[in-house]
Copies of this chain bind each other. A is one copy, B any other.
Amino acid sequence: MTGLQRSWVESANSAETDFPLNNLPYGVFSTSNEDERCGVAIGDQILDVALLESEGLIKLGPKPVLDLPFWNDVMELGPDKWAELRARLTELLGKGGDPALSGNTELRAAALVLQADAKLHMPFVVSEYTDFYAGRHHAFNVGTMFRGPENALPPNWLHIPIGYNGRASSVVLSGTDIRRPWGQLKGPDDPRPRFEPSERFDIELEMGAIVGTASEGPITLDEADQNIFGYVLLNDWSARDIQAWEYQPLGPFQSKATATSISPWIVTAAALDPFRCKTPPREVELLAHLKDTGPMLFDIDLSISLQPEGGTDSIIAETNYNEMYYSAAQQLAHHTTSGCAMNVGDLLGSGTISGPEKHNRGSLLELSWGGKEPFTLDDGTERSFIEDGDTLTLRGAAHGDGYRIGFGACEGTVLPALKSPFG
């Protein structure tokens, strides 16, 4: 593992920043006087790469791909260009690199925007969204609650990464308020269903992998790994009571369609490369098309915090992406087995990332054991599920020697349900 790479942007040379030169994550931002365009986080600044492209300091192809409100066109250029862009940014921002930017006072002033002065937007157009159920501890916890520990894992679970298609239109940027949903509910004691606001609204701490290269037919695990452009934090907001009533026999539907929040910066697979790690030991040998061929998971520390309205922020769970049983590459490879075409901008949710201990659980459903064991916040108040006004925040970072590859926060505040479902 290399140490901190130094930049002439001084705020990037701290062990605490999410965005050292080693990271260079991709986002979309706007300022009071300019529309949405592509930017790269560096320290406490955003580098306006659309401006650098128009000034000729970055040239990726025959037409501009950075003065756009999404990174999809860069992804379309393919992995060689991804590597070229990263190398060029390192050269332009690194201490002692190409002085074309660092040595041009006027351009520096125009191209570096303080993050505090910018508004962030969705970093890419989500083509389709798939959500998986590939965390061993989460599947075991949820299965135990519903079926007992002997039958916790479905028979297929150790053989394929179980997934379902989610709703791309549900994906929103961190910071977007989340309205508590209405839905059809039927508790075990209700004689018939009722249409009411969800009473068991929850989160799921996940990582999202972004497909950067399209494919038509089945692809190998190595191809899948190469096709992933980058990662974000992902919160799969989940209405447990709507889910319990609707999910048999065809899976979750409206329970997962209210919102899916993502963190604003795409952290590239290249930036995470030093943090690759293996999946846990296989409990059953995987079939050839899914068998691990190398380290494709990542060592990323993750946390959830909850802040009641007007209260203080409590960390309620801490876990790590390396707890997953299946990597995003395995999920993507499985996704293509039937000939399913994958497109640039497809987003794959990892599934809830829980660890072995109680404090490692990635959902309130698990933290409160289905509401039966409420947990306590730092200020002494109790929670089973989300209450109106609560702000839920996911954070994540890979930790290197003297630096961190951070994701920025993925947060959302839950607003009360509408008085009538129809506004």
Which residues of A come within 8 Å of B, CB atoms?
127-128, 133, 154-156, 159-160, 162-170, 179, 181-184, 186, 192-195, 217-220, 239, 242, 245-255, 257-259, 287-289, 334-335, 337-343, 418, 421-423
Contact = CB atoms under 8 A, between A and B. Distances in A.
Contacts of A239: 338
Given A156-B248, A162-B249, A249-B251, 15 more contacts: A154-B248, A156-B245, A162-B250, A164-B251, A179-B217, A182-B218, A217-B418, A217-B422, A217-B423, A219-B422, A220-B422, A239-B338, A242-B338, A251-B251, A254-B335
Instruction: Report, nearest first, the 6 A-B pairs whose CB atoms are least far apart.
Output: A251-B251, A257-B340, A165-B165, A254-B338, A181-B338, A164-B250
A287 B155 CA distance: 36
A159 B193 CA distance: 8
Given A184-B337, A334-B254, A166 B169 contact: no
Contacts of A421: 217-218, 289, 337
Nearest to A255: B338
Most buried by B among A154, A193, A339: A339
Contact of A254 (B166, B182, B242, B337): B337
A133 B343 CA distance: 27
A156 B194 CA distance: 12
A340 B184 contact: no
A59 to B, nearest CB: 30
Contact of A169 (B254, B340, B422): B340
Most buried by B among A251, A338, A340: A338
A169 B250 contact: no
A105 to B, nearest CB: 43
A128 B250 contact: no
Nearest to A245: B156
**Oligomeric state, in copies:** 2
A338 B423 CA distance: 12
A340 B258 CA distance: 5
A330 B396 CA distance: 41
A350 to B, nearest CB: 14
Contacts of A169: 127-128, 340-343
B250 A249 contact: no
Given A338-B257, A339-B258, A340-B169, A184 B242 contact: no
A128 B167 CA distance: 8
Contacts of A181: 337-339
Nearest to A162: B250
A98 B252 CA distance: 52
B422 A218 contact: yes
A242 B160 CA distance: 11
Nearest to A164: B250
Given A335-B254, A339-B257, A421-B218, A249 B154 contact: yes
Most buried by B among A127, A179, A183, A288: A183
Contacts of A258: 338-340
A145 to B, nearest CB: 13
A163 B338 contact: no
Contacts of A167: 128, 165, 340
Contacts of A247: 249-251
A183 B287 CA distance: 11
Contacts of A162: 246, 249-250, 253
Contacts of A127: 169
Contacts of A165: 164-167, 253
B128 A168 contact: yes
A100 B289 CA distance: 62
13 contacts: A128-B167, A156-B245, A159-B192, A162-B250, A165-B165, A170-B341, A182-B338, A218-B422, A219-B422, A220-B422, A250-B251, A254-B334, A254-B338
